[in-house]
Chain A
Amino acid sequence: MLRRLFFTLAIVASVLALNGTARADITILVPSSSEGDGLRAAAADYSKLKGTKVEIVQAPYANVFEQGANAGATKSGVFDIILMDDPWIPFFAENGHLEDLTPYFKSAGMEGPDSDFLSKSLAICRNPYNTGPYVCLPYVGNAQMFFYDAAKFKEAGVDAPKTWDDVLKAGKALTDKGGGRYFGYVFRGGQGNPVVADFMPIFWSYGADLFKADRTKVTIDTPEGAAAMKTFIALRDISPKGVESYNANEVGTALAAGAAASSINWPNWVATFEDPSQSKMVGKISYSTIPAGTKPGSSEIGHWTMGIMAASKNKQEAFDFTVWATSAEQIKISATRGNPPVRTSVFTDPELTSQEKFRHYPVLMEAIQASTPRPRHPKWPEIENAFGIELSKAVAGTITPEEALKNSQAAVEQITGLK
């Protein structure tokens, strides 16, 4: 009896699963985070409105890249749209996995995306950066901001930190006073993407960069790089023990629990910090653009963008959905669902900006406009890994900051074949 019941259930589940995928008009691969949840809700709205069945496949961050790359390499056409983190765009575009959107805009009688999108948000969707054809449209307007407890900083003698020196001054005082339970700064020091993501804004704010502007030379081991590294290590010294393994969750928890006074972070954490059920710091965290070093501060841009897979069998339907989902009306709805916008009209919409939970919008818009993309290179995942190992070693203290820069320079030169 039990066996028969189990067998019947298995058949029913298989039929339902096959039915679900077979009948979808568009299948979209998204991350299992607020960005993916937002697009899932939008897809449900679209299905009701247009009668088009949209299937959403959610996967953890790294798996979205892997599944997208696999689908692209095998030309399976299993996904019509992929919601991509912007540093992935060169990999997907330069390996022929993404559809050029130009003919679709033309056949729709459009020259391209409208001018309501922020210029920096559009620039990343062109490959090569800001000059090539559009291979995606921006959906979630992520760019790092500086999060800090203004009251604690004031206590430490800094009203509003404008430079990394201000952060260090207040941060050191707070860490010294914290007795090993409270810290002036916290960051993602985990090897790989986390430590690179939190180092890059500091790197840029001292005028350093990974490559020369024309991408002909690796420029990590420079005096500017050394100055950035000095500040980074000083920030490590005022951060919690174990920061070497921290990722976004640990940093977010430290801030929300009131155990750290400041950090670089992504705007989707604002909702957590302003939620009384998850945060002790509701209304107490201030947001600013990235502090300056020897140059003005610059955020790392981390937009989520919608690209159409080249092997899709439903490209026109996918394009129609992409245009609809990134329209001003839908981006505003997406903002109310917790995803930062990519359009000026939504950033400045009084209906939103009058609400406390959107008070960071002016800062975020400024941060996006002052942001820098991660180096646009198809081998970025490998470059990030190599750079992340050396940064991790420097943070852990197993090599000197100077050695970290020298080793990173050599490793990236080897990966890219540049000198």
Chain B
Amino acid sequence: MSISANATSTAPVRPGGTLERWAERHLRVLMLAPTVLILLGLTIFPSIYMFYAAVHKISPNPDVPWDFVGPGNFLRLLSDQQFHVALLNTAVFTIAAVTVEFALGLGLALLLDKYIRRMTFLKTVLMIPMMLPPIAVAITWKIIYEPQFGVLNEIMFRLGLPAQAWAGDVDLAMFSIIVADVWQWTPFIFLLMLAGLASLPVEPYEAAELDGASSWRQFWDLTVPFLKPVIAIAVLLRVMDALRLFDLVFILTGGGPADRTKVLSLYIYQVAYRFADPGYAAAISLFVLFATIILSTWFMKRMRLAE
């Protein structure tokens, strides 16, 4: 009996040396370590380094040491007129482009839901704009908008309408960029909505039909609540992407005319590379990063996505 008790209370002797035993004990940590290290290297370190750069005045001359300026670069944001213009333009673009893309994407999905589900070819065609490289989209629209030889003005001319400068007109430049962005990204919203509609349960609609609910009532009280998570994800992704707009502006207008399309990403690029002031560029980038995080968190809470 005692022999048996001893046998059960003594841990079995494992083969291998101390290192092997230690490795086995910490296997979970060891397995996670490479991922954590890569994450630290690729995400955390650059973020910390960016913050370090943002509190310094960095000379393009490598022999001049970095000058610690504390919150100086962040305080510059308050008085920098070009930053204010870029911030306003980014906000205008984001609100207008995402609103139109959402309205069109959802509207098209509702209209075509019943007809398109099995038409894989049509879905592929609709996905083409968002599969194109942004630079290719920008160049295509530059050719379309070209005031003298562009196809858009040629159509206007043939219709007897006055030619427009489009991307070169102070009043139309932002509109032109929004149209190009809507063309590229409406299919993204459309496909997400289509997927959401395809996964809706049938029973609530059948019950609503029996109760005599109108189509509008069904849409508002059933479709919208059911689609809410999809809507939230789609809008969130588009807002985050719109805040980073660069390619279209860089190619189509360069931020002009008269600064009407200068957005934050373009301004960060100019400050970092054209004006050789990476410290200040890091400060603006951090501002954009925190603004995006705050906006996204607020939005997720509002849409109760976290739940």
Contact = CB atoms under 8 A, between A and B. Distances in A.
Interface of A: 62, 65-66, 69, 72-75, 91, 94-97, 180, 189-192, 240-247, 250, 253-254, 257, 259, 379, 381-382, 385, 389, 392-393, 395-399
A242 B168 contact: yes
B25 interface: no
B257 A191 contact: yes
Contacts of B165: 241-245
Contacts of B163: 180, 241
A207 B163 CA distance: 37
B143 to A, nearest CB: 11
A245 B258 contact: no
Interface residues of B, number: 33
18 contacts: A66-B273, A66-B274, A73-B60, A74-B62, A95-B276, A191-B259, A242-B148, A244-B256, A244-B257, A257-B149, A379-B275, A385-B270, A385-B275, A392-B256, A392-B259, A393-B259, A396-B170, A396-B256
A180 B163 CA distance: 9
Contacts of A382: 274-275
Nearest to B176: A245
B63 interface: yes
Contact of A242 (B147, B259, B273, B275): B147
A308 to B, nearest CB: 16
A389 B259 contact: yes
A278 to B, nearest CB: 14
A53 to B, nearest CB: 27
Contacts of B166: 242
A270 B2 CA distance: 105
Nearest to B61: A95
9 pairs of A and B residues whose beta carbons are closest in the complex:
A191-B256, A242-B147, A242-B165, A245-B168, A242-B168, A244-B257, A393-B258, A95-B61, A396-B257
A254 B150 CA distance: 12
A305 to B, nearest CB: 19
Interface string B162-194: 011111111001000000000000000000000
B253 interface: yes
A398 to B, nearest CB: 5
B251 to A, nearest CB: 11
B146 interface: yes
Interface in B34-67: 59-63
B255 interface: yes
B72 interface: no
A191 B60 contact: no
Contacts of A254: 148
Contacts of B259: 191, 389, 392-393
Nearest to B147: A242
Contacts of B276: 69, 73, 91, 95, 381
A250 B146 contact: yes
A64 B126 CA distance: 37
Nearest to A96: B61
B168 A243 contact: yes
A96 B63 contact: yes
B196 interface: no
A385 B168 contact: no
B154 to A, nearest CB: 11
B67 to A, nearest CB: 15
Contacts of B253: 190-191, 245
Nearest to A415: B275
A64 to B, nearest CB: 11
Contact of B170 (A72, A73, A398): A398
B255 A397 contact: no
Given A95-B60, A243-B168, A396 B258 contact: yes
A192 B261 CA distance: 13
Nearest to A240: B148
Interface string B253-270: 111111110000000001
B62 A246 contact: no
A315 B92 CA distance: 51
B102 to A, nearest CB: 29
B53 to A, nearest CB: 12
B169 A75 contact: no
Nearest to A389: B259
Nearest to A246: B168
B258 A191 contact: yes
Contacts of B173: 245
B234 to A, nearest CB: 32
A244 B274 contact: no
B147 A241 contact: yes
Contacts of A69: 60, 273, 276
Given A245-B173, A389-B256, 6 more contacts: A72-B62, A189-B168, A242-B164, A379-B275, A385-B270, A396-B256
A246 B167 CA distance: 10
